[in-house]
Amino acid sequence: MNAAVIIRSVNRLFAWKVRGIRWIEIIGVLMVAAMIFSVYLAKAAAARESAQIADLERQIGVSGQRVRLLKAEVARLEQPGRLEALSRGAGLGPVDMKRQTSEADLAQLQPIPEPKQVVIVAPTPAVVPAAAPAAPAGEGAR
């Protein structure tokens, strides 16, 4: 295929008309219209997403403010001075060093002594001898 054939084909394409209008121009206009429409769709979608993003950012901002407020409230409630006053009010205090141990030494701790068995004996009535000898003097002061 030489250059002359190509030029002839192009000429025929440009010469292809309907009611005096070149088809190539009609196709071009249609393509431009399609492109404009697609650009419109894309921009409309982008604007919608942009609005959503702006709305989300606004919500994040509002939530962020609320989070900051809550964090400040937590910091106020957890300040050491206040916690210590509350703890001391509840009868709590620093654990004595003698009552602290490491995790590894837990096994060496003395077990809590078991409570001694208390044998409850039924009271027996005291037998008072009829004629008890008199206690020696001074015994009551011992």
Considering only residues 27, 57, 86, 92, which one is a binding residue for another protein as defined by CB under 8 A? 57
CA atoms within 13 A on the CB side of 9: 6
Q: Which of residues 7-46 bind another protein (CB under 8 A)?
A: none
Q: Is 55 in the site for another protein (CB under 8 A)?
A: no
* First-to-final CA distance of the chain: 143
What type of residue sits at position 101? T
Please say which residue, 30 or 85, places its beta carbon nearer to another protein. Answer: 85
Considering only residues 1, 4, 20, 81, which one is a binding residue for another protein as defined by CB under 8 A? 81
For another protein, which stretch binds (CB under 8 A), given 14-22, 62-70, 107-115, 118-126?
62-70
How many residues sit in the footprint of another protein (CB under 8 A)?
27
CA atoms within 13 A on the CB side of 83: 8
Please say which residue, 99 or 142, places its beta carbon nearer to another protein. Answer: 99
Phi/psi of residue 17, each to 5°?
-130, 160
Residue 24, burial from CB neighbour count under 10 angstroms (0-12, 13-18, 19+): middle
Q: Is 64 in the site for another protein (CB under 8 A)?
A: yes
Distance in Å, CB of 91 to another protein, minimum: 17
- Using CA atoms in the order 49, 51, 53, 56, what is the torsion angle rounded to 10 degrees? -130
Considering only residues 6, 29, 35, 69, which one is a binding residue for another protein as defined by CB under 8 A? 69
Over its C-alpha atoms, the chain yields an Rg (Å, rounded) of: 51
- Contacts with another protein by CB under 8 A lie at 50, 53-54, 57, 60-61, 64-65, 68-69, 71-76, 78-81, 83-84, 94, 97-98, 100, 102
